Amino acid sequence: MTKMPKDMIDVLIVGAGFAGLRALYTLRKEGLNCRVIEASDEVGGVWNYNRYPGARCDVESYDYSYGFSKELEQEWRWTERYAQQSEILDYIRHVADKFELRKDIEFSTRLESATYNEAAANWTVTTSRGGPITARFVVMAVGQLSKPKKPDFPGEAHFQGEVYHSALWPRHPVDFIGKRVGIIGTGSSGVQMTPVIAEKAAHLCVFQRTANYSIPACHAHISDAEDAAIKADYPARREQARNSPSGLGFIPNKKSLLEDPPDVREQVLERAWNRLGFGFALAYHDILLNEEANDRVVEFVHRKIAEKVHDPVVREKLTPRGFPFGAMRPSVDHRFYEAFNRDNVELVDIKEHPIVEFTANGIRTKAGEYPLDMIIFATGFDVFTGSILAPAIIGRGGVTLREKWSDGPANYLGLSTTGFPNLFIMVGPGSPSLLSNVLVSTEDHADFIRDMITDMNARDLDEVEARPDAEQKWVQHVNERSQETLYPKARSYYMGDEVPGKPHVFMPYSGGVRGYRRILHKVMENQWEGFDMRKVNAPD
């Protein structure tokens, strides 16, 4: 192996969330000299920031966890089917402590720039604390939902009350008692916080621009017997998750929805609706593939909403129309629709009457002023690429990643992008990412990066780069797979529509985590097919 200068590290990992910690654990175990930089003063990534009331994961706890350590699996006791934010954060902290990860993490350190040195095959990195750090490899583990989006409304500075963002929630308790609260946004964050805040606030206005679909979470506490049963056969559960298309463990019904007569279909959907959370979308294999099948599901969910919301005008406004069920990421809720039957909850339709401005006392829409003591932005994120493109990443020939991705995040396998050698991206665009239980691909990516670097070291190579033809083919493949689905039929963050001016391309890989892992294995078996690996530094 090329001898490293003293001040150089093997791998700089950006981010200490689930992905960064897994990469650190795995790469360090191979004897690589790794350092993590983390902008916050704590581990946890999104689970450290999204502390809003009602925040939970909508993947089941036993699956939204690491599978790399049997001891960890056995010792951690999840208390609920869908863990609350605080419990997930406790879990991540426990992992960081158990495996002594903190000693290699520089907290309160934000990546500012990374510049590739072509002659030396390494990266020079600067951070908010200065630098430079020189690293052979950089792993971007910055998350897909980590750059909060806060729209600018005129007059915001004049508002006299409290203002919060779901993804920048303070650590101190926020008191809603007796207050008039406004929530802008009805994505997963808005949907989760609405019923919780409704129980405390004097009055709650939910400002909705687009009604989206929401599936009941069916929360449940985990009994000791259930915990023991899962732990007795955890490997089987992991295998099922890894081999399910979504990584959630649901094996899709092999039947088409259209094969079943209406009464049977109704029973199947009803069972899935009442038990499966996200698995509802897999009650038949073609719900997200076939428009006619999807239309039947739309009718079913519309009926469910109608059963829950008493007021016909509010009901109609909460009923999503104009795009297939699931094409925009559905929420998983706990009594969201029911919250609108309360006297203190008001739905404000800002599609019909958009927000004009914030005033000293509240929000003025085209329909009038809503007096508020507190405004909460639940307006989401610059998804997939926001955090990757925030720092200046400068590759071959001085080209920035922002320039290269100006028409969309072209990449190979979601892991690598031509012109930026020795840079890996974890669970970002081009990988199953947000279309799946992201923990499954996180572990796959960490292992893939480990195997690649280990092999390069064994062969005394120092540079790896995605080949342009492989990248082009992968981009085409990602697009083709998305065209088999109904996802492109909605305006959504899957398509880059959440930020004005962002390229309108399908971002994640819709071929499923199992199929994706097979592709990774094939690439590996074929001597890293699609990658060029080189020796750049002269041997000593």
The residues of the shown chain that bind ligand N01, judged by CB under 6 A, are 56-58, 145, 151, 166, 184-190, 192, 209-210, 329, 332, 350, 378-381, 434, 493, 498
Give 209 or 285: the residue with its C-beta nearer to ligand N01: 209
Query: Judged by CB, which is closer to ligand N01: 111, or 145?
Result: 145
Q: In the complex, what is the shortest distance from the CB of residue 362 to ligand N01, in angstroms, rounded to a whole number?
A: 15
**C-alpha radius of gyration, the chain, whole number:** 24
φ/ψ of 133, rounded to 5, equals -115, 135
Q: Do residues 207 and 184 touch, judged by C-beta distance below 8 A?
A: yes
C-beta atoms surrounding 356 within 10 Å: 17
Residue 266 CB, shortest distance to ligand N01, in Å, is: 27
CB of 254 to ligand N01, least distance (A): 27
Compute the least distance from the CB of residue 509 to ligand N01, in Å.
Answer: 16
Q: Which residue has the tokens 């099948």?
A: 293
Cα 228 to the chain's mean position, in Å?
29
Residue 56 or 481 having the CB closest to ligand N01: 56
Write the CB contacts of 403 (distance below 8 Å, at least 6 apart in sequence): none
Contact 430, 411 (CB under 8 A): yes
Task: In angstroms, give the least distance from the CB of 335 to ligand N01.
Answer: 14
Specify the residue, 165 or 265, whose C-beta has the smaller distance to ligand N01. 165
Instruction: Return left, alpha or beta for 24; rule: phi > 0 is left, psi -120 to 50 is alpha, else beta.
Output: alpha
Q: Cis omega before residue 132 (within 30°)?
A: yes
Q: Indicate the residue among 362 and 530 with the shorter CB distance to ligand N01.
A: 362
Shortest Cβ distance from residue 16 to ligand N01 (Å)? 19
Of residues 370 and 412, the one with the C-beta less far from ligand N01: 370
Q: DSSP for 231-284?
A: HHTHHHHHHHHHTSTTSSSPPPPSS-GGGS-HHHHHHHHHHHHHH-GGGGGGSS
Nearer to ligand N01, 52 or 531 (CB): 52
The answer to whether residues 170 and 314 touch, using CB atoms and an 8 Å cutoff, is: no
Based on CB atoms, which residue is closest to ligand N01, 101 or 383? Answer: 383
Q: Which of 62, 345, 292, 329 is closest to 215 using CA atoms?
A: 329
Minimum Å distance from CB 388 to ligand N01? 16
What residue is closest to ligand N01 based on CB?
A: 187
In the complex, minimum distance from the CB of residue 381 to ligand N01, in angstroms, rounded to a whole number = 6
User: For ligand N01, which is the closer residue by CB, 184 or 318?
Assistant: 184
**Which of 353, 415, 428 is closest to 383 using CA atoms?**
428
Any residues with CB less than 8 A from the CB of 303 and at least 6 apart, and which?
none
The number of beta carbons lying within 10 Å of the beta carbon of residue 19 is 29
**Rounded to the nearest whole angstrom, what is the least distance from the CB of residue 511 to ligand N01 in the complex?**
19
Q: How far is the CB of 316 from ligand N01 (least distance, A)?
A: 17
CA dist 487 and 288 (Å) reads 7
Tell me whether residue 308 or residue 491 sits nearer to ligand N01 (CB atom): 491
Buried b (16+ CB within 10 A) or exposed e, 505-525: bbbbbbbbbbebbebbeebee
* Selection from 437, 331, 333 nearest residue 61 by Cα: 437
The CB-of-377 to ligand N01 minimum distance in angstroms stands at: 8
For residues 326 and 395, which CB has a smaller minimum distance to ligand N01 in the complex?
326
- Distance, CA of 272 to CA of 524 (rounded, Å): 38
